[in-house]
Chain A
Amino acid sequence: MDEKERQRLLDDLLARQAKGQLKAADRYAIGPQSMPEQDPKARRRNVSEVATGYTELQARLEAMRCLQCRNAPCVEGCPVRIRIRDFVTEIAAGRYREALAIIRENSLLPAICGRVCPQETQCQEKCTVGRRFKDSTQAVSIGRLERFVADMDYADEGMPNVAPETGMKVAVIGSGPGGIVAAADVRRQGHAVTIFEAFHKPGGVLVYGIPEFRLPKAIVRKELETLRRMGVEIVCNFIVGRTRTVAQLMHEDGYDAVYIGVGAGLPHFMGIEGESLVGVYSANEYLTRANLMKAYEFGAGADTPIAMSRRVAVVGGGNVAMDAARTAVRLGAEKVYLVYRRTEKEMPARVEEVHHAKQEGVEFLLLQSPRRIIGDDECYVRAIECLKFELGEPDDSGRRRPMPIEGSEFQIEVDTVIIAIGNGANPLIRQTTPGLEFNRWGNIVVDEKCRTSLEGVYAGGDIVLGAATVILAMGQGRVAAAAINEYLADKARKRL
């Protein structure tokens, strides 16, 4: 469908809607608007964003597919309860500013969430349209619509009001999605906020982890700029637990409350032979080199090198594994394998990411897992030896447990192996913050208000949840900020 046809269809739908004649069947008949994308061959050689975004007509047609259900089940599926039905209705009517205002009531980072949220397992999973077709890919594309309005880039928009200064100070540790949200919400109440970031650039996983082709850095920069304009101070190259401890921040530096949003940040390895060979990376390292350190521009400005791989095996089936595989493609690898021990159905990665990876030529090796990594005489990776698996009975996660098939070993010749099987909890805060309670996996224990065992100390995101998502981290940042604001208001009252 071209733009002219879209215009005709939209006009027709609007006319019938005005006359009260638009039926559910008409909305079903519109059909999902496909996301415009860069050609797979072209994008294998660049780092520009893959999905280029809906046109205005596509967005309005997609929004017209929404049935405007009275009970709005989509809202139930959203971790931060955005009034989805209402903002979609505004888009259908062409009132984008209003739509964005509705989203901003609950989400500070729509341009980011519209891109990286797993909508198909959240809001879109509950969508009545998708249910009608028994296919969540037929649901209204809520995320794409969110992205569409967030990208409108209104010059006068995006600077929330800040209450008069209260004289209270809050430290936010980590500048990832949870920290950004917590900082903004606390700052709005008039408290002074300092964000401490360990890296030399703020943004956390949004800048070191998620690649440019999926989330352009300019979007993250813009959100951080908004924070700065609100008066939030961002201090980089500052490692809480090393440069200063949590106790020092509170008892010597005058911070009244602390939010810990440091992320998970300790990559798991498999514990197999050969994992320390040259050419074996954690996905964290590979992605950090490529994204944050811009290794894709090595020799053209950037100083950080990355393996010049010909044949790469990525181990894992989550979004990070897809990001690593697709990054390897862009860095010029001839062959990229993705090795996953279950089937595609069990993959935690988003369907869209799996689809994009395949389009870009990543070859999926399913029901297989590396048993050892084999090096040459100089300790460079030469091959991986894999074992084949079959699915057995469901395990604790409800997914069928992969069982190794004895004697099924085979080798794949590769020069680079990227391990993307998740992250554990970074021990730095634990080692340096006496009195803070952790569970046996090293995650910080919090209550429903994100309060920790230490007064005035709050925590959220991956360091609490284990590996989760951007939106869940944001949700906790918001909960913690509300609790911090309440705590500080209480503290102020007691001072009077």
Chain B
Amino acid sequence: MAHRILTKQQLSENVFTAEVEAPLIARARRPGQFVIVSVSDDYGERIPLTIAGADPEKGTIRLIWQRVGKTTAEMADIPAGGQLASVVGPLGKPTHIEKFGAVVCVGGGIGNAPLLPIVQALKEAGNTIISILGARTKDLLILEDEFGAFSDELVVVTDDGSYGRKALVTEPLEEVCQRSDKPDQAFVIGPAMMMKFCCDVTRRYTVPTQVSLNTIMVDGTGMCGGCRIEYDGQAKFVCVDGPEFDGHKVNFDLLMRRLAGYRSQERQAYENYRRHRCRIGLDPAMGEQ
């Protein structure tokens, strides 16, 4: 069963979003869950992507991804009306939503995508939402308006100061934690490095912190264990035990090493793909290389 891409948009230089036909997943999914996507049944790799939203009536889910390797580049090249070979899910445990009180939600880069449905659900559960969104530069910031709609307070920062405040997300996060009414709960989703530093901040202020991890996976159902992390000294599987964890117990350094485990092969696959596209005339920008 192939999954049609109904609409597709480029959100920034390397970030894309698509509305994909997946009626059963659209009905079953809850905030925090993800899918595994493949562009070819025979040779494709399986990559996990968080579900950024869903329309159960229409039978579609929204995916947001960053072009970083072969498969994400190939996905970016599929036009609206085209198909993904497989979309399987919803996977992982849904986010635990309750009325915590004041919740600070920190999104970094592409992490805003999985964070949005969580913020939405937290808001519906009656929480006060302080959102902090960070991006390297203005063009890479996504979903600002959507977050605005569900947040009681919204802080935007960029690394280069091209938009919002010139800061890393940890700065406003620390300020929020220093308030007399410090947040009851934090949610942090973004690059592993950012989550690590955010957790260092919230640990100092003893603010419980959920992070959502995006590791390398194959099956996504607990069968391979490739996604395992060190959590409180023990091995946990992100696909079935997560993807959300108490960020204060995650060994982020090891996580980052494992994420980089195939870097040279991934680079090679991406390079080959770009060369191929160039040869068949689809990517003139690559002509000189």
Contact = CB atoms under 8 A, between A and B. Distances in A.
Interface of A: 198-201, 235-239, 242-244, 265-267, 269, 271, 275-279, 281-282, 284-285, 288-289, 293-294, 297-299, 301-305, 307-308, 378-380, 426-428
Given A239-B91, A244-B28, A200 B230 contact: no
Contact of A297 (B38, B43, B219, B223): B43
Contacts of A199: 219
B225 A201 contact: no
B265 interface: yes
Contact of B257 (A269, A281, A308, A378): A378
B90 interface: yes
Given A235-B1, A236-B1, A267 B258 contact: no
Contact of A282 (B225, B261, B272): B225
Contacts of B218: 285, 288-289, 293, 304
A307 B235 CA distance: 21
B208 interface: no
B286 interface: no
Nearest to B227: A285
B226 A294 contact: no
A237 B86 contact: yes
Contacts of A379: 253-254, 257-258
Interface string B22-55: 0011001000000000101111111000000000
A433 B228 CA distance: 25
Contact of B43 (A282, A303, A378): A303
A336 to B, nearest CB: 20
A275 B46 CA distance: 23
Contact of A242 (B1, B40, B89, B268): B89
Interface residues of B, number: 47
B261 A279 contact: yes
Contacts of B159: none
B137 interface: no
Contacts of A378: 257
Contacts of B222: 265-266, 426-428
20 contacts: A200-B86, A200-B88, A201-B41, A236-B1, A239-B91, A243-B24, A269-B225, A277-B254, A277-B257, A285-B224, A288-B223, A298-B269, A299-B265, A301-B43, A303-B43, A303-B71, A305-B266, A307-B261, A378-B257, A428-B222
A237 B230 CA distance: 29
A242 B91 contact: yes
Contacts of B201: none
B141 to A, nearest CB: 30
B87 A276 contact: no
A427 B223 CA distance: 10
B85 interface: yes
Nearest to A286: B224
A426 B223 contact: yes
A267 B225 contact: yes
Contacts of A380: 257
Interface in B214-249: 218-219, 221-226, 228-230, 235, 240
B88 A238 contact: yes
Contacts of B43: 294, 297, 301-303
Contact of B221 (A235, A302, A426): A426
B221 A305 contact: no
B70 interface: yes
B262 interface: yes
A302 B218 CA distance: 14
A304 B40 CA distance: 11
Given A198-B219, A298-B265, A282 B224 contact: yes
B282 to A, nearest CB: 18
Given A276-B258, A299-B268, A426-B222, A243 B90 contact: yes
B221 A198 contact: yes
Nearest to B24: A243
Given A244-B28, A379-B257, A427-B222, A198 B88 contact: yes
Interface string B254-288: 10011011100110110010000000000000000
Given A236-B1, A428-B221, A243 B89 contact: yes
The listed residue with most A CB atoms (<10 A of its CB), out of B87, B230, B258, is B258
The listed residue with most B CB atoms (<10 A of its CB), out of A198, A238, A307, is A198
Contacts of A284: 223-225
A304 B28 contact: no
A288 B225 CA distance: 11
Nearest to A266: B222
Given A293-B45, A303-B269, A305-B262, A269 B235 contact: yes
Given A276-B230, A276-B235, A294-B43, A305 B265 contact: yes
A482 to B, nearest CB: 29
Contacts of A238: 24, 88
Nearest to A269: B235
Interface string B122-153: 00000000000000000000000000000000
B284 to A, nearest CB: 24
A281 B70 CA distance: 23
Contact of B229 (A267, A276, A304, A308): A276
B272 A299 contact: yes
B50 to A, nearest CB: 15
Interface string B65-88: 000001100000000000001111
B36 to A, nearest CB: 8
Contacts of B240: 266, 426-428
A251 to B, nearest CB: 15
Nearest to A304: B45
Contacts of B251: 276
A392 to B, nearest CB: 29
B289 to A, nearest CB: 18
Contacts of B45: 293, 302-305
A243 B261 contact: no
Given A243-B25, A243-B90, A297-B43, A266 B223 contact: yes
B228 to A, nearest CB: 6
Contact of B219 (A281, A288, A302, A303): A288
A277 B255 CA distance: 9
Nearest to B74: A303
A461 to B, nearest CB: 14
A293 B46 contact: yes
B254 A237 contact: no
Contacts of B224: 267, 282, 284-285, 288
Contact of B28 (A198, A237, A242, A271): A242
A92 B95 CA distance: 64
B266 to A, nearest CB: 7
A269 B268 CA distance: 31
The listed residue with most A CB atoms (<10 A of its CB), out of B88, B224, B265, is B224
Nearest to A302: B43
